[in-house]
Amino acid sequence: MHILRLTVLASLAMTLVSSCSGPKEQTSESVHNVFAVNPIALGANDELTLPAVVEEARTISVGFKTAGQIERIFVKEGQKVSAGQTIAMLDTVDYALGISAMREQFRQMQSENRRRAHLHASGNMSDNDYENAISGMRQLELRLRLEENKLGYCRLTAPTSGVVTKVNFEPSEMVDAGTPVIELMDNSSLEVIVDLPVRFYALRNSFAGFTGSSPAAGSSAIELRELSLTPRADNTQLYRLRLAPAGRVPAGITPGMNMTVTITCADAEGSGVKVPLSSVFERDGRTFVWVINPADSVISSREVITSSTGHGGTVEISSGIEASDLIVRAGVHHLTEGEHVNIISESDTNAGNVI
């Protein structure tokens, strides 16, 4: 009985001690990790980096100006040629025989017309007959010149310097006038082709400059100039931008080579800054951003006045912050006034600044 009484008293004592003790205090505090950015002053330049392909300025299909049988082809695919170089030849035997016969006919007509001239001068030939004879001789002379030109057309020359990309016929084959026999790649000038997505095409009025880079050009940038921008998208919703080197092209740059093009976009001049859209939040009908004190990493809300929404998910701010301020980029709805935050660096896994 005495033992039972001691047990009950001990239990009551433990209950009293437990009821008198307060709740356990929380000693650890949650600290938010945030990415920090500086506002960008309006009027600063943005850069777009896109892949591109180097292409020849044009491809030329070369053919004879007259019909005939191919006698020789002097070039092969991949061979470099110079402007004016003979690249193919037609059989000229029939053309040469025709010209010889026509020249003999022309000399005979010249001799007859000299006799007609004496008859006409002595009054033994009418003016009409003499004029018809002279006209016939002139027509024959023009036909002779035409046949001589056709003989010259049997020799096919390169209209420009370039590289032979395709030979469509072999010797002894017959070709008509104008049939493409050889295709040349004109590499006297190169073009850089960039396919712009819709979101970049919308910035076309702010394009201020173009530069290209390629391992073949070393560390030097290639200045480019705009040739054209197709105003119609293709089936993949891309707009074709054609650029050309503004100066000398490095020797290692050839058609078909990949290149990286950087497009500089100049913002309209104006006062204020622009910040990511994710940096802005509303409270009581007003707009704020979180400004970080670099000395102690404590944040404070600052009211801002927005002017418009810019491209690329940005907001233009006319007053409230400056380009030198450090602000929170994202996650603004989970922070509180005077909170101490942990500023973390950008991560390679955060592609596109989505955090």
Query: Which amino acid makes up residue 39?
Result: P
Q: What is the pLDDT of residue 311?
A: 60
Higher pLDDT, 351 or 205: 205
C-alpha span between 34 and 37 (Å, rounded): 10
Q: What is the pLDDT of residue 353?
A: 43
Q: What is the pLDDT of residue 269?
A: 53
* CA dist list (Å): 84 to 57, 59, 149: 19, 17, 17
In sequence order, the β-bridge partners of residue 287 are: 282
Answer whether 0.75 is exceeded by the pTM: no
C-alpha span between 217 and 215 (Å, rounded): 5
**Phi, psi at 292, each rounded to 5°:** -100, 130
- Cβ contact 289:304 at 8 Å: yes
**Phi, psi at 168, each rounded to 5°:** -90, -15
Predicted confidence (pLDDT) at residue 217 exceeds the cutoff of 90? no
Predicted confidence (pLDDT) at residue 312 exceeds the cutoff of 90? no
Taking only the tens place, the pLDDT of each residue in 45-94 is: 677 889 999 988 788 999 999 999 999 999 999 899 998 999 999 999 99
Q: What is the pLDDT of residue 256?
A: 87
Q: What is the pLDDT of residue 290?
A: 94
- In the predicted model, what is the mean pLDDT of residues 295-314? 83
Q: Which of these CATH numbers, 2.130.10.10, 3.30.565.10, 3.40.50.620, 2.40.50.100, describes 62-90+156-184?
A: 2.40.50.100
Average pLDDT, the chain: 83
In CATH, the number for domain 271-343 is 2.40.420.20
C-alpha span between 28 and 25 (Å, rounded): 9
Predicted confidence (pLDDT) at residue 15 exceeds the cutoff of 60? no
Q: What is the pLDDT of residue 218?
A: 76
In sequence order, the β-bridge partners of residue 70 are: 90
Predicted confidence (pLDDT) at residue 205 exceeds the cutoff of 80? yes
Higher pLDDT, 175 or 24: 175
Domain 47-57+188-266 has CATH 2.40.160.20: no
Q: Where are the domains of the chain?
A: 47-57+188-266, 62-90+156-184, 93-153, 271-343
DSSP state, residue 296: T
Higher pLDDT, 110 or 220: 110
In sequence order, the β-bridge partners of residue 317 are: 273, 306
